[in-house]
Amino acid sequence: MLTGLLAAFVGHGLWLACVAEDAYISFRFARNLASGLGLVWNPGEAPVEGFTNLLWVLLAALAERLHLDVPRTMQALGLLAGIGVLWLTDRFAARLLGLRGLPRLFPTLLLAASGPLAAWASSGLETVLFTLLALAALLRLETWQGFGERRDLWLGWLAVALAVLTRPEGGLLAAVALWPSLHRPELRKAGVRAVGAFALFGAALTLFRLAYFGAPVPNTFYAKTGGGEAQIVRGMIYVGFFAFHFLLPLLPWAFLGRGVQASREGISREGNGSSRAPGRPAVASLALWSCAYALYVAAVGGDYMAMDRFLVPILPMLYLLAGFAARSLGPASSPILRRWAAISALIAVAGTFVHSTPFEKDLFAKAPRQHGTFRGVETERWHVARLSLLAE
């Protein structure tokens, strides 16, 4: 089943494929770096970090040096990262949340139907790579807390370090990662060592930026405009429309989760058992990352580009939380609950996927200050086609 969902996701990504215009900024820096000019915008100018995706630029520069088609190569890397997101989501659901059957399948099913993940996987930008690294970090660190293997601790913080190189928001991931690294007293000593090693990496990266670019953060940070209450309101509207488009279809499933939980609590009372479920520490990390990141996106005012780009890094976590809500659903559940599970899953998938089709413009108003969902992808394609024509 997972193989089929991976294939469906790739097809979805190809359906929405478009190299975003912003990707060509990264490609220009990569071309100059591969040509021996350094990380500069124009030959002969001083180095400038006019991008927020250092690792992605380095990968694009490698593709340039290998004489590959850079836009197509980066699209392929994005799709591979998306496949990794689906695979890790399934692993997280089974190993850390203890999900089986439809609750285990549900998060991966939604990701395969998710327009934001598919569109940005095939955009030529780093969004889905960052999502993969964030998910890998939480998976490894929660595995470390559950099983105590030090390899998982260090691989988790390696994923955090790579996320920092991929997006500035990796710093927020590092803050969230402190929870699964340090909250168990018996494992805290090893966790402190890993956090200390990451701090040294962060200091070295900052010193490199100061020495090479003359600034501790990317130049785009200083180019940001606005701020104040208007920016926060704009960001809250952005998050609100995302919730309306991509979380509201999950509402029937949420009612299912409540019904399953009520049934489970009744069985526990009759059998004098415990209603406590496995996976709660991992749920805390998923919820912490999702809430912290959504608040950050609201604080910076959201984004204008297609398919809610800024909120893609929390999609797997939100869908895992949804799967966990119905964790007790299984063959022993009542026929009514199983039937409702199938119907609510179908509603969730259809309500998610419709935003990847031309029908969305007949059903939904476009969010303010945004390109839109499927309409947004069409707008991105138009921008790239227009600029390509001008370049020719």
pLDDT tens digits along 34-43: 999 999 999 9
φ, ψ of residue 148 in degrees (nearest 5):
75, 20
Q: What is the DSSP letter of 122?
A: T
User: Which has the closest alpha carbon to 110: 249, 284, 313?
Assistant: 249
pLDDT of 233 reads 94
Backbone angles phi, psi at 307, to 5 degrees: 55, 40
Q: Which helix H or strand E contains 42, and what residues bound it?
A: none
Phi-psi region of 124 (alpha: psi -120 to 50; beta: other; left: phi over 0): left
The confidence score (pLDDT) of residue 184 equals: 86
pLDDT at 254: 86
Model pLDDT, residue 329 = 77
Q: How is the chain split into domains, by residue range? A: 19-270+277-391
Distance CA 37, CA 318 (A): 42
Question: How many Å apart are CA 294 and CA 288, to the nearest integer?
Answer: 10
Q: Which residues of the chain have pLDDT under 70?
A: 222-226, 257-279, 330-332, 385-392
Per-residue confidence (pLDDT) for residue 98, from 0 to 100: 93
Global pTM reads: 0.93
